[in-house]
Chain A
């Protein structure tokens, strides 16, 4: 309200200037009228105004830069750039972006006005513009979505990388195949071992059959070596041949 009074005072002052300064007077008039209106357009909580919050020291630590008017100019440029990408708003200029209430936090409010500088652009348009170009704006200030916040403009989160075949299935498939191959190898070698064992007893059986023709076998021990090992034939016992009286 004070600013409105001020502008009214200035208007009155210049109305009393000599008529020879008409064109410049009109220009000054216009200038202060515009400033007054600007002051009213950008206010905390105004329609179509957005609050921005930066956490530069959190993001950059020692390499943090100070927030001065040049940085504000860059911000206005980025917002104007984003608005230019919206159809029908290609004529947005840096001067159309208004900043106010800059605090130490660093936080401030901004609005974007139309070329006539009388009205602010609708919030929806500003929202879409900022959302589409958030990455560029973040990059310009070395910040990210957590440290450069536009309150009321939710940022589109980056979708996670989704490979066509989930990685875990690949690894699963590899290990699965290795295990199946190992099982098959072990089973086959087990079968082969058993077949060899089955052949060996049958070979031993053949050898035993041959032995039987030559020696008697008692309890699996061939008698032949028993006969050879020591022992004398006791003549006191009659041999079998003589027991039977010959015919």
Chain B
């Protein structure tokens, strides 16, 4: 008797799973950065256009393929054309790389979450130096949040070459992160379907709480006004459009095979068009929502730092000229400075180099993305709020939910093809396969807990998924439209769901989206070639800031290997299938 394919208990679980997968850390830490860099409010124009032109059609395509083929990525593409099963394999390889390094972020979130239960928060004060007369030197040069991130969490080495050993604290957190992921995927859709209710909805609860708190913070409006003021001239900047397209593309998680895997557990009659539109709209809405929260936090932090800077200047002047305490305020600072410059010129010129020019704009202009935003900038803002432990716990809990939700999708992309294959699933039960995958990923992930681990993390983050995904999705679109046949696909969908496919989708699939992806691909390649040698940011403990260094040769080799191992799958498998096919035909001919 054939085992029936496990299904989602209801369509809501499928939608939640897709939302939980698509809404991830990128919405929180990449979109606000892009919005700030490319013109604030005016960035929304290219973003929404790209959503409608690129995001929705490609998402619908992947969901439709998965629902129609009812198999994981390898099986689905093999069904479309045996020469194209390389696409599925490439998807699995990329997902494997992604899950290796992505869970390290969850490990860091766990680390910060566990450390949030202390008073005062450990990243709010610098530790003391040896003889307790002052603060630790590295911490003084950088800030306490940067020190906690680079020294206490990562214990980062000065360069990629100095590997250091595996740090046991992040290693423990990584182990815990993998155990939690294993717990969620253990039973397949049965357990995943229940977990996604939480991982999809809880981040929104926390975001709403943070929105209310963020908007009521002192100085939040400064940030919001500055960031959202549209700078219309950025619309003419091609980089804005490219980045909007890239952000939509990667934010939806296309090409990893996770969406195909999730859709394969659907009832065939499920209305995936409606779900595709819902998921992509919710994903974009979450990005914009998260950026409102982020900008109000930025505004608070910038105002706080600006006022601190003013206080320092005031104190310096008060002490140097023995003015009455409380006489100098922010409002009369400039006047008094002028008076002092004229009345005591020699003394003033002595102290002048130390007087910093405090500017709110320059504080607001510091645009940060990625782990720096999540673990340094946000924690700096949190430590200045009242009841900072509560806000810290909420924030890192939200990061965890977002990260684990995305991990569920990543592991589903790897596990679904494995459990679909008859060879493996006949020998091992589902739990053992999931356990093995988690174990292998955890063991390899220990590389990222070494002292140079963060540098390897950056390599994986920047190069493991970017080029390969563009190629994979391009081949997918061409395969469905031209190899399988758009008309055939359209009639399949009509038979399956009972609804006709609108002309809009057909035009997008056949023409516009592939063109867009090709142009993105060309842009990326030219960017890599023009940049010359690849560089990375290393933390210099003696200066307390990041410095740029070149990658050593073996790191470049690893980068090349990462990109090649996924992209080469497609032509190699096609070639291999072609050769095998010819050999079989050669064998068959004499017999017939």
Contacts and interface: CB of A to CB of B under 8 A. Distances in A.
Given A168-B114, A176-B176, A183-B182, A160 B325 contact: no
A172 B176 contact: yes
Contact of A58 (B125, B325, B429): B325
Nearest to A54: B325
Given A107-B322, A176-B176, A171 B117 contact: yes
A78 B195 CA distance: 64
Interface in B307-332: 318-319, 322-326
B127 interface: yes
Contacts of B319: 53, 105
B504 to A, nearest CB: 44
Nearest to A220: B1
A171 B114 contact: yes
Interface string B169-207: 000110010011011001100010000000000000000
B128 interface: yes
A159 B132 contact: yes
A19 interface: no
Given A175-B176, A176-B179, A179-B179, A168 B325 contact: no
A154 B125 contact: no
B183 A186 contact: yes
Contact of A159 (B128, B135, B180, B324): B128
A67 B307 CA distance: 28
B323 A105 contact: yes
B179 A57 contact: no
Contacts of B173: 172
Interface string A57-70: 11000001000000
A179 B186 contact: no
B134 interface: yes
A182 B322 contact: no
Contact of B133 (A57, A156, A172): A156
Nearest to A190: B431
B132 A156 contact: yes
Given A167-B118, A179-B179, A186-B186, 7 more contacts: A154-B134, A168-B114, A168-B117, A169-B114, A175-B176, A183-B179, A190-B429
A164 B557 CA distance: 46
B115 interface: yes
B167 to A, nearest CB: 14
B111 interface: yes
A55 interface: yes
Nearest to A189: B187
12 contacts: A55-B325, A57-B325, A104-B324, A156-B132, A156-B133, A157-B128, A159-B128, A160-B127, A160-B128, A182-B183, A186-B187, A190-B431
A180 interface: yes
Given A157-B128, A159-B132, A172 B325 contact: no
A103 interface: yes
A171 to B, nearest CB: 5
Given A56-B325, A58-B325, A104-B323, A167 B117 contact: yes
A157 B324 CA distance: 27
B325 A105 contact: yes
Given A58-B325, A159-B132, A194-B429, A183 B114 contact: no
Choose among B114, B118, B180, B431 the residue with the greatest number of A CB atoms under 10 Å from its CB: B114
Contacts of B322: 103-105, 107
A206 to B, nearest CB: 17
Contacts of A179: 176, 179-180, 183
A168 B168 CA distance: 14
Interface string A95-134: 0000000011111000000000000000000000000000
B6 to A, nearest CB: 13
Contacts of B125: 160
Interface string B4-46: 0000000000000000000000000000000000000000000
A133 B322 CA distance: 26
B430 to A, nearest CB: 8
B415 to A, nearest CB: 15
A183 B325 contact: no
B491 to A, nearest CB: 33
Contacts of B128: 157, 159-160
B318 to A, nearest CB: 7
A183 B187 CA distance: 10
Nearest to A174: B114
A244 B132 CA distance: 114
B323 A157 contact: no
Contacts of A171: 114, 117
Nearest to B118: A167
A230 B191 CA distance: 48
Contacts of A176: 176, 179
A176 B174 CA distance: 11
Contacts of A217: none
B89 to A, nearest CB: 29
A71 to B, nearest CB: 14
B155 to A, nearest CB: 15
A155 B128 CA distance: 12
B319 to A, nearest CB: 7
A187 interface: yes
A195 to B, nearest CB: 12
A172 B318 contact: no
Nearest to A183: B183
B115 to A, nearest CB: 5
Contacts of B326: 57-58, 64
A182 B127 CA distance: 38
A92 to B, nearest CB: 26
A187 B186 contact: yes
A160 B132 CA distance: 10
A159 B126 CA distance: 11
A171 B172 CA distance: 12
B480 to A, nearest CB: 37
Given A167-B118, A172-B114, A157 B134 contact: yes
A190 B428 CA distance: 13
A172 B172 contact: yes
Interface in A27-77: 53-58, 64
A104 B323 CA distance: 6
Nearest to A155: B133
A176 to B, nearest CB: 6
B133 A180 contact: no
Interface in B416-454: 429, 431
Contacts of A190: 186-187, 429, 431
Contacts of A104: 322-324
